């Protein structure tokens, strides 16, 4: 049953950093570097998993299975419910693991600027990483939930303590919304566990696909479970109108945390929707596909329109994220290979692009102490490298071919046009709006008259340049050679759909 | 022909080398020129090997979607071999010219790297054998255009123009994108040959083909600055002048015409689509020509002229004149690029763009003036120059196709063209001048001379007298395109020449002799003002689309802020209040704790009593 202990080691690897950090004195001058080092080990291990992952095989790899505890119930005393410690990865989760540890590492570099109680910050930061890695490596819903909760707690503290002016409000908002999401998710998990007697994801996928299992779960129950799941992950994605918490976090959280939040944490919503929504309840999804597509279009246009009139860069990017996640919904709703592949691509791609954009916002805050569009302008003449990267990131975000955003949106819309051409025709308007708000925001920062107020600012330093260049290279790499994602993804095999 | 791949690769290398090697800063121009020159040589070789070997295509797998394998590839057929030569030649000449024109610019190297990226994208576009690849490069040339229009990024006008160029063309691009989606689900492929086969075998419903063709045309309208998406092109003149010559006159804006030509088998199946193209083209031609009559900025006049001439090409294509459209695209590339480069030479010399503030420059800039005159004569359709032949071909086609209204519009446009070109020429070059001006360096003049020669002789590739070489060659296309050849009525070249010379003469009387009673006054009234304000299209768009979308945006923002956030605040508040109620219990008073504990105990006992069945 156990291929290796690689995944356990991977998930627990940030703990090494936590241990070392906790024995270091808080005012040590290398404390931040220690924190960064803490994320290097998980990155290395993920790379190993990524390269050892056999792309020619289908199904779950690097399985680990240990019985954890048993629950006796009065209903069936002879058959105890078994809860297992159950790890494993599919093509889908390998990609998310890679995304998670890469962005965490790059974000930790951005956090080098943090001076105030850096020790506590990095400890929580690494704890957050444990949660994220665990979420993507879990083969079991209970374990998934457990790790999911770890990310909530650590995020709450990171936002609440190291955030901006309204950090406490943002943290509470985050906690309440995500708490509600967790409860709904927990209900789904418990119902599935009680009825299906297992929480193993792959087993559940197989069992639920089998129509004979209707005796366990009636159609209407499944519909309700799917709706609950949709709301639970919809809050995370986020789906309008559950998005306000996420805008707050985007605006208030420290940049390193926003990078992870926008780049990885929100992606748990998409991951859950695809892995569990599509995996467990394909029939229900098909029934509700039109509704889902309409939600997607609303997300896409709503986010885009509001982003158009924001006066502050972080808000623009926050609403931009909402808009881009609408495309994920559209891809899922179209429920064909092109659409689903587009949804996964869009999730990964947006993770990388959002991380890059927020990394650059961090630079902006550091140099110019503002993210208000009207106070900025003409920075291209003082910091050309920064301006170049910001422009490139903006172009990536608006779906320029040759970068990852294009192929993702292209596939999602291609899928949608097969399934629902009319909704697709409305949706493509979003692509125009994206160009409008993105160029408006980026050009407001970089183009225009030079402001002498900002004279003598340093351009990107090495520690900013390297992560930016890494992210941009990957974005271009995926854009030029998207097969690099689909080779690993093997979507049809993972979800058992398509041709 | 296996080295076709070098044609896009060389400019790409040039881009990368210049981008990553800052130290060679001052040599960027030479690097760019050498690489583009090599690409031009390759294009020439490819052109000649096409004469010998015929069509060529090579493809490789790029991406797989289920069972569908999406390929990338390179295709050489008459149309794109011709485009390759035009693109690389003009790019090469513009590279040389820019070494002089941009010599003192701070961002000299950046400029050349962008030129390299553009040349790569444009040649990539031209070589695409499938629509997805074509679309990708289509967007990339758009971005290069955006970058170069916004090259003087610190100027607010340049910033606005760059943004406008990108957004307006993107509106068109979405049409093309939707067309690609629809074609994919109809034919299961992005490959042009598969799509054309399906279209001509009748596998796609006729109404759907019409829709698809019109959507493709929407893309072309955006890129080629056709009405109603034309407003970005004149504004794009904020870019450096060599860029205007390369991108906004000779190559990228012609990509729309090229796109229609590439997908011609789709258009030709649908009469409605053809008429749409012809009418849009004809209308744009005269619409832009009338605006050009009264503009005062040298580059904007040329820009409206470009819009008008592109309309001419669309008119030709819509009137079943495949050869005529492509022919005019070719000659236009030469004389319009020359006009821009010559205008650049003037601007370089006098640092002024208002033609009413110039004058008498033919004495100061004799070579520039001569070349400008050649190009002006050519575009005006002066007998025996390049423009004369291609314009005649278009008029003949339109006439032969039975579209008499459009034919008349074409004739009037020809007259207007001759007039506004010579209004420009006379105001800038004739008379006396007091301004100081020095002729441009030879690095700028030599490329202009090459284009000047082509603007004179370029028309002889397709004449009724010496042979229809271009038309015959274009017929070797691998796709089934019906070539209609209309013999021009004998009076047509004569009428066209008369109109052309008439336009020139009128301009001469108004601006040189100043004998006519018609004068251009500074007080603009009525029609003059309407034309000067470009029919108020910009103002209309500003109100309807820009303001309109902002109104929608603000509406949603307030919904977001008050209704959704408000709702969220209620939930958050409820949770908080519940929490605070709990906090109050933790008062530290033993009495309170006791009360709570006792109440709880009573409750539990009651529950046990009730549920346990003791009652």
How do residues A94-106 score in pLDDT, each as one tens digit? 999 999 999 999 9
**pTM for this prediction:** 0.91
What integer pLDDT is reported at residue B69 of this predicted model?
Answer: 86
Could you give the CA distance from residue A104 to residue A133 in angstroms, rounded to a whole number?
Answer: 10
Class of residue A96 by CB neighbours under 10 A (exposed 0-12, middle 13-18, buried 19+): buried
Q: Is A40 on the interface with B (CB under 8 A)?
A: no
Asked if residue B414 lies in contact with residue B395, where contact means CB atoms within 8 angstroms, the answer is yes
C-beta neighbour count of B476 within 10 angstroms = 12
Mean pLDDT of B49-65: 87
Could you give the CA distance from residue B411 to residue B391 in angstroms, rounded to a whole number?
Answer: 10
Q: How many Cα atoms are found within 13 Å in the side-chain-facing hemisphere of A95?
A: 30
For A81, phi and psi rounded to 5 degrees? Answer: -75, 130
pLDDT digits (tens, 9 = 90+) for A71-80: 777 666 677 7
Asked if residue A17 lies in contact with residue A35, where contact means CB atoms within 8 angstroms, the answer is yes
Inter-chain CB proximity B162 and A443 less than 8 Å: yes
**A432 Cα to chain B: minimum distance (Å):** 6
Torsion of Cα atoms, B110 then B116 then B120 then B122, to 10°: 90
Q: What distance lies between CA A240 and its chain's CA centroid? A: 17
Residue A135 host element (H or E): helix A118-137
What integer pLDDT is reported at residue B485 of this predicted model?
Answer: 75
In the predicted structure, residue B596 carries a pLDDT above the cut 90: no
Asked if residue A303 lies in contact with residue A320, where contact means CB atoms within 8 angstroms, the answer is yes
Percent of chain A scoring above 90 in pLDDT: 48
- Integer distance in angstroms from the first to the last C-alpha of chain A? 30
* Residue ranges covered by each domain of chain B: 1-175+229-262, 280-520, 541-589
Mean pLDDT of A269-286: 89
What integer pLDDT is reported at residue B23 of this predicted model?
Answer: 57
Inter-chain CB proximity A436 and B178 less than 8 Å: no
Could you give the CA distance from residue A325 to residue A296 in angstroms, rounded to a whole number?
Answer: 8
Lowest mean pLDDT among B12-26, B95-109, B317-331, B496-510: B12-26
Q: Which residues of B touch A299 (CB under 8 A)?
A: none
Mean pLDDT of A134-149: 92
What integer pLDDT is reported at residue A495 of this predicted model?
Answer: 60
Query: Which residues in B104-141 are b (16+ Cβ under 10 Å) and which e?
Result: eeebbbbbbbbbbbbbbbbbbbbbbbbbbbbbbbbbbb
Q: pLDDT-based confidence at B477, cuts 50/70/90? A: confident
Q: How do strand B56-65 and strand A81-89 relate by DSSP bridges?
A: unpaired
pLDDT digits (tens, 9 = 90+) for B446-465: 999 999 999 998 888 887 77
Inter-chain CB proximity A431 and B550 less than 8 Å: no
Mean pLDDT of B243-261: 91
Cross-strand bridge partners of residue A71 = A81
Could you give the CA distance from residue B86 to residue B247 in angstroms, rounded to a whole number?
Answer: 12
Asked if residue A252 lies in contact with residue A315, where contact means CB atoms within 8 angstroms, the answer is no
Cross-strand bridge partners of residue A66 = A85
Query: Which residues in A141-154 are b (16+ Cβ under 10 Å) and which e?
Result: bbbbbebbbbbbeb
Q: Which of residues 363-382 of A touch B (CB under 8 A)?
A: 378, 380-381
Q: pLDDT-based confidence at A151, cuts 50/70/90? A: very high
Q: Which residues of A touch B565 (CB under 8 A)?
A: 244
In the predicted structure, residue B349 carries a pLDDT above the cut 90: no
Q: Is residue A337 part of a domain?
A: yes
In the predicted structure, residue A1 carries a pLDDT above the cut 60: no
For A149, phi and psi rounded to 5 degrees? Answer: -70, -35
Task: Pick the residue of B549, B555, B571 with the most A CBs within 10 A to test the interface with A by mutation.
Answer: B549
> How high is the ipTM of this complex?
0.91
Mean pLDDT of B552-561: 87
pLDDT digits (tens, 9 = 90+) for B502-555: 999 998 888 887 766 555 666 677 788 888 888 888 888 888 888 888 888 888
What integer pLDDT is reported at residue B403 of this predicted model?
Answer: 87
Residue B482 host element (H or E): none
More confident residue, A469 or B570: A469
Mean pLDDT of A217-240: 88
What integer pLDDT is reported at residue A47 of this predicted model?
Answer: 93
Radius of gyration of chain B (CA): 31
Asked if residue A234 lies in contact with residue A226, where contact means CB atoms within 8 angstroms, the answer is no
Q: pLDDT-based confidence at B580, cuts 50/70/90? A: confident
Q: Is residue A335 part of a domain?
A: yes
Q: Which residues of A touch B169 (CB under 8 A)?
A: none
The average confidence (pLDDT) of chain B is 88
For B74, phi and psi rounded to 5 degrees? Answer: -130, 135
Asked if residue A263 lies in contact with residue A352, where contact means CB atoms within 8 angstroms, the answer is yes
Inter-chain CB proximity B556 and A338 less than 8 Å: no
Tokens encoding B516: 């006519």
Highest mean pLDDT among A131-135, A374-378, B580-584: A131-135
Give, as one character, the DSSP assignment of residue A215: G
List for chain B the helix, strand, coil content (%; round to 5).
75, 5, 20
Give, as one character, the DSSP assignment of residue B319: T
**B175 Cα to chain A: minimum distance (Å):** 9
Tokens encoding A191: 């119902």
Inter-chain CB proximity A435 and B170 less than 8 Å: yes
Nearest residue of B to residue A490, measured between CA atoms: B66
Could you give the CA distance from residue B307 to residue A323 in angstroms, rounded to a whole number?
Answer: 35
Tokens encoding B168: 């307006």
Class of residue B479 by CB neighbours under 10 A (exposed 0-12, middle 13-18, buried 19+): middle
What integer pLDDT is reported at residue A131 of this predicted model?
Answer: 94
Could you give the CA distance from residue B191 to residue B184 in angstroms, rounded to a whole number?
Answer: 9
Could you give the CA distance from residue A457 to residue A455 in angstroms, rounded to a whole number?
Answer: 6
Residue found by looking up tokens 């001509």 in the block:
B200
Tokens encoding B578: 């519940």
What integer pLDDT is reported at residue B203 of this predicted model?
Answer: 85
Mean pLDDT of B578-590: 79
Inter-chain CB proximity A482 and B567 less than 8 Å: no
Q: Which residues of B touch A417 (CB under 8 A)?
A: 178, 181-182, 184-185
Q: Is residue A390 part of a domain?
A: yes
Q: Is residue A161 part of a domain?
A: no
pLDDT digits (tens, 9 = 90+) for B191-244: 998 998 888 888 888 889 999 999 999 999 999 999 899 999 999 999 899 999
Query: Which residues in B48-87 are b (16+ Cβ under 10 Å) and which e?
Result: ebbeeeebbbbeeebbebeeeebbbbbbbbbbbbbbbbbb
Could you give the CA distance from residue B355 to residue B98 in angstroms, rounded to a whole number?
Answer: 23
Task: Pick the residue of A380, A414, A444 with the most B CBs within 10 A to test the interface with B by mutation.
Answer: A414
Number of structural domains found in chain A: 1
Tokens encoding A8: 């356990």
Could you give the CA distance from residue B169 to residue B74 in angstroms, rounded to a whole number?
Answer: 25
Between B322-350 and B386-400, two packed helices, what is the crossing angle to 10 degrees?
140
Nearest one of A378, A345, A401, A396 to A457, comparing CA atoms: A378
Residue-range definition of the domain harbouring residue A325: 296-499
Q: How many Cα atoms are found within 13 Å in the side-chain-facing hemisphere of B354?
A: 2
What integer pLDDT is reported at residue B165 of this predicted model?
Answer: 92
Tokens encoding B194: 């598969």
Inter-chain CB proximity B150 and A448 less than 8 Å: no
Asked if residue A367 lies in contact with residue A457, where contact means CB atoms within 8 angstroms, the answer is yes
What integer pLDDT is reported at residue A498 of this predicted model?
Answer: 38
pLDDT digits (tens, 9 = 90+) for B130-145: 999 999 999 999 999 9
For B453, phi and psi rounded to 5 degrees? Answer: -60, -40
Cross-strand bridge partners of residue A85 = A66
Cα–Cα–Cα angle for A157, A161, A165, nearest 5°?
130
In the predicted structure, residue B375 carries a pLDDT above the cut 90: yes
In the predicted structure, residue B358 carries a pLDDT above the cut 90: no
Inter-chain CB proximity B153 and A308 less than 8 Å: no
**A79 Cα to chain B: minimum distance (Å):** 27
Interacting residues of B527 by C-beta distance below 8 A, sequence separation 6+: none
Could you give the CA distance from residue B258 to residue B75 in angstroms, rounded to a whole number?
Answer: 14
Q: pLDDT-based confidence at A499, cuts 50/70/90? A: very low
Residue found by looking up tokens 């804006």 in the block:
B253
Could you give the CA distance from residue B262 to residue B260 in angstroms, rounded to a whole number?
Answer: 5
Q: How many Cα atoms are found within 13 Å in the side-chain-facing hemisphere of A133?
A: 30
Could you give the CA distance from residue B488 to residue B494 in angstroms, rounded to a whole number?
Answer: 11
Could you give the CA distance from residue B198 to residue B266 in angstroms, rounded to a whole number?
Answer: 10
Mean pLDDT of B419-433: 87
In the predicted structure, residue A118 carries a pLDDT above the cut 50: yes
Tokens encoding A351: 């993770």
Please report, for residues B19, B148, B163, the alpha-carbon distance to residue B236 in angstroms, rounded to integers and kept in the order given.
24, 9, 10
């Amino acid at each position: 049953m156990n291929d290796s202990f690689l995944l356990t080691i991977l998930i627990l690897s940030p703990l090494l950093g936590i241990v070392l950090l906790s024995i270091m004195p808080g005012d040590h001058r290398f404390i931040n570097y220690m924190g960064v080092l803490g994320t290097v080990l998980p990155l290395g291990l993920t790379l190993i998993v990524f390269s050892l992952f056999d792309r020619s095989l289908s199904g779950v790899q690097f399985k680990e299975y240990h019985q954890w505890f048993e629950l006796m119930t009065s209903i069936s005393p002879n058959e105890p419910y078994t809860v297992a410690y159950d790890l494993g990865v599919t093509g889908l989760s390998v990609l998310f693991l890679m995304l998670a540890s890469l962005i965490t590492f790059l974000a930790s570099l951005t956090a080098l600027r943090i001076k105030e109680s850096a020790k506590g910050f990095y400890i929580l930061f690494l704890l957050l990483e444990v949660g994220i890695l665990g979420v993507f490596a879990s083969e079991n819903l209970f374990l998934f939930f457990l790790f999911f909760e770890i990310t909530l707690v650590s995020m709450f503290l990171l936002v609440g303590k190291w955030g901006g002016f309204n950090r406490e409000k943002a943290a509470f908002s985050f906690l309440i919304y995500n708490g509600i999401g967790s409860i709904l998710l927990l209900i789904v998990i418990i119902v599935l566990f009680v009825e299906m007697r297992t929480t193993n994801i792959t087993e559940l996928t197989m069992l639920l696909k089998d129509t004979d299992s209707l005796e366990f779960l009636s159609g209407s129950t499944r519909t309700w479970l799917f709706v609950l799941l949709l709301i639970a992950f919809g809050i995370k994605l986020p789906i309008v109108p559950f998005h306000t918490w996420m805008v707050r976090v985007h605006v208030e959280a420290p940049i390193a945390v926003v990078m992870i939040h926008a780049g990885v944490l929100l992606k748990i919503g998409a991951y859950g929707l695809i892995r569990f929504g599509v995996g467990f309840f394909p029939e229900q999804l098909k029934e509700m596909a039109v509704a889902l597509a309409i939600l997607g279009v609303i997300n896409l246009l709503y986010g885009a329109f509001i982003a158009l009139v924001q006066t502050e860069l972080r808000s623009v990017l926050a609403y931009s994220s909402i808009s881009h996640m609408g495309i994920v919904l559209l891809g899922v709703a179209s429920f064909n290979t092109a659409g689903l592949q587009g949804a996964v691509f869009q999730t990964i791609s947006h993770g990388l692009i959002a991380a890059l954009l927020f990394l650059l916002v961090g630079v902006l805050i550091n140099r110019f102490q503002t993210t208000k569009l009207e106070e900025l302008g003409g920075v291209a003449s003082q910091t050309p490298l920064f301006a170049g990267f910001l422009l490139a990131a903006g172009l990536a975000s608006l779906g320029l071919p040759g970068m990852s955003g294009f192929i993702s949106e292209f596939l999602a819309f291609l899928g949608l046009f097969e399934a629902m051409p009319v909704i697709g025709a409305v949706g493509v308007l979003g692509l125009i709006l994206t160009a409008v708000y993105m160029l408006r925001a980026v050009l407001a920062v970089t183009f225009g008259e030079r402001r002498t107020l900002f004279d003598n600012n340093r351009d990107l330093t090495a520690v900013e340049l390297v992560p930016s260049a890494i992210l941009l290279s990957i974005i271009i790499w995926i854009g030029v050679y998207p097969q690099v994602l689909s080779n690993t993804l093997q979507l049809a095999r993972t979800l058992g759909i398509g041709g | 022909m296996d080295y076709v791949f070098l044609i896009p690769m060389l400019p790409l290398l040039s881009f990368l080398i210049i981008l990553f090697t800052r130290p060679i800063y001052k040599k960027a121009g030479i690097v760019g020129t050498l690489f583009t020159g090599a690409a031009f040589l390759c294009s020439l070789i490819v052109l000649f090997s096409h004469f010998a070997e015929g069509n060529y295509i090579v493809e490789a797998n790029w991406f797989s979607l289920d069972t569908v394998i999406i390929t990338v590839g390179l295709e050489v057929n008459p149309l794109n071999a011709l485009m390759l030569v035009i693109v690389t030649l003009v790019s090469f000449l513009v590279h040389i010219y820019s070494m002089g024109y941009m010599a003192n610019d701070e961002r000299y190297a950046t400029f050349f790297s962008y030129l390299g990226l553009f040349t790569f994208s444009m040649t990539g576009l031209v070589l695409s054998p499938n629509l997805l690849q074509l679309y990708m490069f289509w967007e990339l040339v758009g971005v290069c255009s955006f970058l170069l229009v916004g090259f003087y990024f610190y100027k607010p006008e340049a910033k606005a123009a760059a943004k406008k160029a990108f957004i307006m063309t993107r509106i068109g691009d979405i049409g093309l994108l939707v067309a690609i989606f629809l074609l994919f689900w109809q034919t299961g492929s992005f490959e042009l040959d598969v799509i054309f086969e399906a279209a001509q075998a009748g596998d796609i419903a006729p109404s759907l083909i019409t829709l698809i063709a019109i959507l493709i045309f929407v893309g072309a309208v955006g890129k080629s600055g056709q009405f109603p998406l034309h407003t970005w092109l004149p504004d794009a003149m904020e870019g450096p002048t060599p860029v205007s010559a390369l991108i906004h006159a000779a190559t990228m804006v012609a990509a729309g015409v090229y796109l229609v030509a590439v997908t011609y088998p789709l258009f030709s199946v649908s009469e409605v689509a053809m008429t749409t193209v012809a009418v849009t083209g004809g209308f744009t031609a005269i619409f832009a020509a009338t605006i050009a009559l009264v503009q005062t900025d040298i580059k904007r006049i040329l820009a409206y002229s470009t819009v008008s001439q592109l309309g001419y090409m669309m008119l030709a294509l819509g009137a079943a004149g495949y050869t005529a459209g492509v022919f005019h695209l070719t000659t236009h590339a030469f004389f319009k690029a020359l006009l821009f480069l010559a205008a650049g030479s003037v601007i370089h010399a006098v640092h002024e763009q208002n033609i009413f503030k110039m004058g008498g420059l033919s004495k100061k800039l004799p070579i520039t003036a001569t070349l400008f005159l050649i190009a002006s004569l050519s575009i005006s359709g002066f007998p025996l120059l390049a423009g004369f032949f291609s314009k005649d071909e278009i008029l003949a086609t339109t006439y032969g196709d039975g579209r008499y209204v459009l034919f008349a519009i074409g004739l009037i446009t020809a007259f207007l063209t001759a007039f506004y070109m010579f209004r420009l020429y006379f105001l800038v070059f004739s008379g006396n001048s007091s301004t100081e001006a020095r002729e441009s360096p030879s690095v700028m003049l030599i490329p202009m001379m090459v284009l000047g020669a082509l603007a004179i002789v370029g028309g002889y590739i397709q004449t009724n007298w010496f042979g229809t070489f271009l038309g015959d060659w274009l017929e070797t296309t691998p796709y089934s395109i019906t070539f209609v050849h209309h013999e021009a009525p004998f009076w047509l070249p004569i009428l066209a020449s008369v109109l052309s010379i008439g336009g020139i003469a009128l301009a001469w009387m108004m601006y040189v002799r100043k004998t006519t009673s018609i004068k251009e006054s500074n007080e603009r009234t009525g029609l003059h003002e309407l034309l000067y304000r470009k029919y108020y299209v910009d103002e209309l768009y500003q109100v309807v689309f820009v303001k309109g979308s902002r109104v929608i945006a603000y509406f949603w923002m307030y919904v977001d802020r008050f209704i959704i956030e408000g709702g969220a605040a209620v939930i958050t508040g409820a949770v908080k209040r519940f929490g605070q109620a709990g906090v109050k219990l933790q008062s530290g008073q033993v009495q309170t704790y006791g009360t709570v504990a006792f109440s709880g105990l009573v409750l539990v006992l009651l529950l046990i009593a009730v549920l346990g069945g003791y009652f």
